[in-house]
Structure 1
Amino acid sequence: MATGELNPNHYPARRAAKVVQHYLNTHYGSPFRLFGLHNVQSGNAEDVADSGRKYQLEISVQEIISNTTENCSAEVLFLRGDQQHSPQVQVSCAELLKSNTAAQEEALFQKYKMNQSLLSAQNLPDSYGHIEPDNKPLWHLGIVASSSVMLKESTENTLFNMAQVAHITQLATENEQLKFDCHILLHEMVSQEIIHWKLLFTWSPPEGVKVLQMEQLPHCHHCEKPPNTN
């Protein structure tokens, strides 16, 4: 792995920067707030004693729904050890996190909570890249939940993108959290594998998306590659 100043267009810098995207979605994402990596402006990597490798990054991050972009500073530490650990992330994106979506989230939460029947959707997006407008919040919830998996699984040698929500189902619950069972497809860009995960997660406006269980499913050799995996 390269040390010192990095080419912002090459994989080492972009892989580390993509981890920042997953971190922001995991901690701040919602059906009305999604973060994407817009650009890597500069990067630097250094070995940190026995801890691992630290990346210092200057990036631009886009809040996709409002189409707002901000320059952010970030630090990503990939830990060394026999067991894989989630990268440690620190990021400064103060203005981007100020967007207030509380009213929209509360309205959606009450709508989902008061539905006569539990929600269910599949193939988001479909083979033509299309998502029905009513299903977009479910797609967004799937993206936020998937970021928890991608953050946990990320290393210096991976580059994950969310590919598809194969299936998502709302489950009955008696508390103030909506609960969902979800089957997601992740595209690992380095190996070009499509990786299937089964997730159980909750969502409420005060608590955000919380992944309760995650399980990698066996490789599906006959599965068709989903659309929009870039």
Structure 2
Amino acid sequence: MRIIIALILLTAVNRSLNAIIRPEADSADKSAHPTSIPVTTDESWINEILMNGAVEEDMKETGELNPNYYPAQMAAKVVEHYLNTRYGSPSKLFLLHDVHKANAEDVADSGRKYQLEISMQEIIGNTTWTCSAEVLFPRGEQQRSPQVKASCEELLKINTTAQDEALYQQYKMNQSLLSVQHLPDSYGNIEPGMKPFWHLGAVASSFVMLNESTEDTKYNMAQVANVTQMATENDQLKFDYDVLLHDMVSQEIIHWKLLITWSPPEGVKVLQMTMLPRCFECEKPH
């Protein structure tokens, strides 16, 4: 039975990776895009299923959790999205680095609460700090966003004001509006000048991933399929994003359309977010 489960999981993983990177990309130099968020399989989660049974059973556990297994990693991933929505920018992007301690408890009728000690990385400046966080998944028939509290004071002292202001002025004064596709491309590459817009897409996607997260999901942004700068009469830069999100639990690639604004003083604001219809027979993303 364990062999059968392993084969099913490996098949799902290969299907997901093929949906993001075309076969010819396999031989490319993966170090060409060091700032990309990799779409990978959590090997410890596979081991958890093989050793301890279904994930659903582990989700019922309370008390101290194995930090390498799915429930702790899932809750910590929500903290990543939370920090990006509050503090992310084209020059500042947060990524979960490691989970050190995790504890889960059922809170009366409120939901399920996770207490976490984690390391978060600001991937552009390659700086890592330890944070403490609390994530509550509310109960109820209607899905609600997780409630997050995080203490990462040192990480949040990172100052990228100069980089953000320079980018803002460049695209505020441009005569032609930006339009670009496939960040990264089939080989995992992004032109240096376009990396801030990949980062901006990841920050904007965190609004969606935070809003959609449950105890049965674990999201990454896989690709910016398209980003187009739009004309605006105020001080905000405005962008139309098409992004591909990867749910590592279901192995689905989900297409979202986002309308966002950004400026250094106001930060990232998501004006509209729309999930496009699933199309399992459509052309796979580049």
Q: TM-score, normalised by structure 2?
A: 0.78
Match of 1:185 in 2: 244
Corresponding position: 1:139 with 2:139: no
Looking at structure 1, the residues matched to 133 and 226 of structure 2 have their Cα atoms a distance apart, in angstroms, of: 33
**How far is the alpha carbon of 1:190 from its aligned partner?**
0.4
How far, CA to CA, are the matches of 1:225 and 1:118 in structure 2? 24
**Cross-structure match for 2:173:** 114
Residue 224 of structure 1 aligns with which residue? 284
1:43 aligns with 102
Matches of 1:105 and 1:123, distance apart in 2: 22
Indicate the residue corresponding to 1:73 in structure 2. 132
* Distance across 2 between alignment mates of 1:190 and 1:181: 28
Q: Distance in 2 between matches of 1:149 and 1:202?
A: 15
* Offset of residue 121 of structure 1: 0.8
CA distance in 2: counterparts of 1:86 and 1:45, whole angstroms? 18
Cα shift at 1:225:
5.1
Could you say which residue in structure 2 is the equivalent of 1:84?
143
- The answer as to whether partners of 1:194 and 1:225 remain within 8 angstroms in 2 is no
CA contact (8 A) 2:105 2:112 kept: yes
| Matched position secondary structure for 1:139 | helix
Residue 136 of structure 2 corresponds to residue 93 of structure 1 = no
Which protein has the bigger helix share? 2
Q: How far has the Cα of 1:223 moved from its partner?
A: 3.0
What is the SS of the residue equivalent to 2:77? helix
SS across alignment from 1:218: coil
Give the letter aligned to residue 279 of structure 2.
C
Specify every segment of 5 or more residues in structure 1 that has no aligned partner in the other structure, as ranges: none
Say if 2:182 and 2:223, in contact at 8 Å, map to a contact too: yes
Separation (CA, whole Å) in 1 of partners of 2:148 and 2:139: 15
- Give the counterpart letter for 2:231 in structure 1: A
**What SS is found at the alignment partner of 2:119?**
strand
Distance 1:64 1:109 in 2: 20
Say if 2:225 and 2:285, in contact at 8 Å, map to a contact too: no
Tell me by how many angstroms 1:219 deviates: 1.1
CA–CA distance in 1 between the matches of 2:152 and 2:170? 31
- Distance between the aligned counterparts of 1:187 and 1:225, measured in 2? 12
Offset from partner CA, 1:5-45 (integer Å, 9 cap, x none)? 10000000000000000000011000110000000001000
Computing the radius of gyration from Cα coordinates, the structure with the larger value is: 2
* TM, length-normalised to structure 1: 0.97
| Residue identity in the other structure for 2:82 | Y
Given candidates 198, 219, 223, the residue that maps to 1:164 is 223
* Aligned residue identity for 1:183: D
| Corresponding position of 2:123 | 64
2-structure distance, mates of 1:218, 1:119: 26
Alignment of 1:199 with 2:258, yes or no, is yes
SS in 2 for 1:136: helix
Per-residue CA deviations over 1:57-88 (Å, capped at 9, x if unaligned) read 00000010111100110000001112111101
Give the gaps of 5 or more residues in structure 2.
Answer: 1-59
Asked whether the equivalents of residues 32 and 137 of structure 1 are also in contact (C-alpha less than 8 Å), the reply is yes
**Superposed CA offset, 1:153-184 (max 9, x none):** 00011000000000000000000111100100
Structural RMSD (CA): 0.8
Letter of the structure 1 residue corresponding to residue 167 of structure 2:
L
